[in-house]
A and B are shown apart, each in its own frame.
Chain A
């Protein structure tokens, strides 16, 4: 048993803290108003720092860290609400590493770790009851090529992705493709959202792809998708964990400064109890996330642990941010204060890769129910 970080993890986080403090202050607020929604310059810088390549082998430009290292780094990013396609690019890259063939790995992973290529999972199919007028899923064969049509929603940073991970139901069953985002049959529309983080609607109409674009064995997409979703859920938990740590810090600082009725509001037991609840919730997220990350890093089964982490993180993200807003009083509700950015972002993170209800259901199943 050891709750401490390793020396190399401490070094990684030390660099990350310094970098994010220097470069990412106020960034989330700035990029929200830009078309890109993130900073391409900083993206290059974090590639140079080796962050994008963190979990990849050296031969592909990576630095061979563990998944646990990645979780810790994402937690730091969460503290700064660092915007960008970091987690989704990392998990997309990992599925190529795990399931791609060698020419796919050679073609895409070095470009990814270099910061040149953003890959985004485009896996969420629209609920037909939400809107009827959509391009429906279709996959046919023509001259040995696949012709794909379909609509995918909430694709993270789809508008800047070079490739999409896309699943289609082919003659061989559910098959995963790595699709060139520049294909003329693809339309990508960023959606205005509560967190300003540009989830996209991606529409494919008669997009021609070949067998070389298939990741893994045709007909065996489901297992890979599940892995993407598991990793995604855990990295979101880590990001939420960082956000909540920062919200707690900000809030405690504020409560210890703000005076009303001749005393710091932080001296009021009701405020102390609220802060104590925030701290406890945050630590619950943290240790559930760490344990699941440890299991994933060891290659142990971790479905239950990941879902425990994400279910707690999803709901804690709301609870903790709401208390943070309340303790800041009117100030916390104002546009110009950072508190509201965390509050809005918390909603997006809560939803990404499954909300609390979704993951509690998985935990229940894992319990044999």
Chain B
């Protein structure tokens, strides 16, 4: 048993930290941009490229595709520092699409997509959800017809968040109408910037985050857009979701520390209710951090974190809820006022989080779905 980083990992962590510290202005600007809810702005791209330049966005990938051939613990370390300094902790390209291209893509696809992902130059938008297919992803119905020398796509997607600034759509589409439904799904990469017939229209969340509806109207995409084998898309999607469940609580730890300092400053440190709440939160955040470390460690040791990743995802989202809620409780009536108001604490940051954090309970698998996974895969309990 050992709960510390190795000397090399520790050294690497310092190096990563030093980048963000030397790029303090840029990090802050990127964080600010990201927290507008509009997605990546110019500063976000810039900091991603600084990270990418060093091979840190995808440190586990082979060198030929822009990685460093390092273990998952190194990725964890980067993700943690990114979360701490800019709130963005990965890209969809580096975290979900890339790993699937790496394991199931053609050489051509690998050469085309992986290096720019690793350099932080391109982003993918997850194209899974549809009005009738949320938790039940296998119910998706957008149609991809094989027309011999191209695929013809018709249908729509809902809540595809990064569509308005991503270059590529990571699209799950139906290629066969069969039972079980999941055996008729394929994965495609669609060039959003250069393909006619695609309409992207905004939807706003209560947290002020922009997400989108995407409409495909007789859209032709080349045959080599297909990822892996036809009709095996659902397996890849599940695999990619497991990658995306790699997470960190570094941003929560940072906010928690600030909250503790605030409580001292405002002379509320003697309040027994606040003490209890903060004491409980500290334990909750630390346990979530250990979940995150365990998942990274398991991946490095060839173990499959199937239920552990679900526990991590659920616990991070729920801990975030608890943190934001505790902060709001501590602020009392001052918690309700928004950014820009002189009575707002932390310039209204927690007021926005209070609204925006709801989405983490729902995206990437709801807490109920995570609990199903923990019970069924983890505890071996029967499926319904």
Contacts and interface: CB of A to CB of B under 8 A. Distances in A.
Interface string A265-283: 0001011000000000000
Nearest to A197: B336
Given A194-B351, A195-B336, A259-B132, A333 B358 contact: yes
Nearest to A326: B361
A261 B345 contact: no
Nearest to B265: A129
A304 interface: no
Contacts of A347: 328, 335-336, 354
Interface in B352-372: 354-355, 358-359, 361-363, 366-368, 371
B267 interface: yes
Interface string B329-355: 100111111111111010000010011
Contacts of B335: 194, 347, 351
Contacts of A126: 343
Given A129-B266, A325-B358, A330-B129, A260 B136 contact: yes
A340 B207 CA distance: 10
Contacts of A343: 206, 355, 358
Contacts of B363: 330
Contacts of A194: 335-338, 351, 354-355
Interface string A241-265: 0000000000000000001111000
A7 interface: no
Nearest to B129: A330
B162 to A, nearest CB: 15
Given A270-B368, A318-B325, A340-B206, A261 B135 contact: yes
B367 A326 contact: yes
A2 interface: no
B135 A329 contact: yes
How many A residues touch the partner, as a band?
35 or more
Given A260-B134, A330-B363, A191 B333 contact: no
Classify the secondary structure of A's interface with B: mixed
Interface string A111-138: 0000000000000101101110000000
Contacts of A332: 358, 362
Interface string B72-88: 00000000000000000
A357 B273 contact: yes
A355 interface: yes
B127 to A, nearest CB: 14
Given A192-B341, A318-B325, A330 B362 contact: yes
B319 to A, nearest CB: 14
Interface of B: 129, 132, 134-136, 139, 158-159, 203-207, 265-267, 273, 321, 325, 328-329, 332-343, 345, 351, 354-355, 358-359, 361-363, 366-368, 371, 384
